[in-house]
Amino acid sequence: DGGITQSPKYLFRKEGQNVTLSCEQNLNHDAMYWYRQDPGQGLRLIYYSQIVNDFQKGDIAEGYSVSREKKESFPLTVTSAQKNPTAFYLCASSMRDLGRDTQYFGPGTRLTVL
Amino acid sequence: QKEVEQNSGPLSVPEGAIASLNCTYSDRGSQSFFWYRQYSGKSPELIMSIYSNGDKEDGRFTAQLNKASQYVSLLIRDSQPSDSATYLCAVNAGRNTPLVFGKGTRLSVIA
């Protein structure tokens, strides 16, 4: 089956810890994205990448880092510098044109800071 | 800052009625428009995309785009309780730039 997988589904972090969220896609999409969603809020863009080894900051990149070593993978690290990381994290992918091509979403990772 | 505005709702409609969801956007140069449905605790799923002025129909869903007035709407005919969800409007912010999402409208279809 083609699609986007995210793991883990739920993640608990102690304050001061870095955690990495996984995102993999087998849709042969060039572009990948990370969003954060807080209760009752829309999607806020953290980082995006159009090609391997290149990525751009979104609107709320502070406290997060990403890598794009493979076309299929776009992991997100939530660092200890992110002061309020509890949220629902969504990974998405699309073909090459960021604004025209449909974005498809993974099932999400719910991160809770203890 | 490119903006996409939606009424947060909740919008309540009786089963079988037409639900009308609206979205306005600030960038007159926007060319691509998307409607996503998001059930509580789940990820967004695409309902429709629209790129040209006018109506686009897909089953019970109709997207309407008016670029001159800078709004896009989604009509859901014969609303069902299973349509109860949050509907997100997304608009492109410029050539080859990521989509900008509205905060969503929560729809409740009452049986």
Residue A101's pLDDT is what?
Answer: 86
**CB-based contact, A14 to chain B, within 8 Å:** no
Among B46, B95, B98, select the one facing A48 at the smallest CB separation.
B98
At B39-65, the pLDDT tens digits run 999 999 999 999 999 999 999 999 999
- B96 with A33: Cβ contact below 8 A: no
Average pLDDT of B94-101? 84
Residue-wise over A42-59: b if at least 16 C-beta within 10 A, else e? bbebbbbbbeeeebeebe
Q: How confident is the model at residue A83 (pLDDT cuts 50, 70, 90)?
A: confident
Interchain contact, A43 vs B101, CB within 8 Å: yes
Mean pLDDT, residues A87-113: 92
C-alpha angle B108-B21-B40 in degrees, rounded to nearest 5: 40
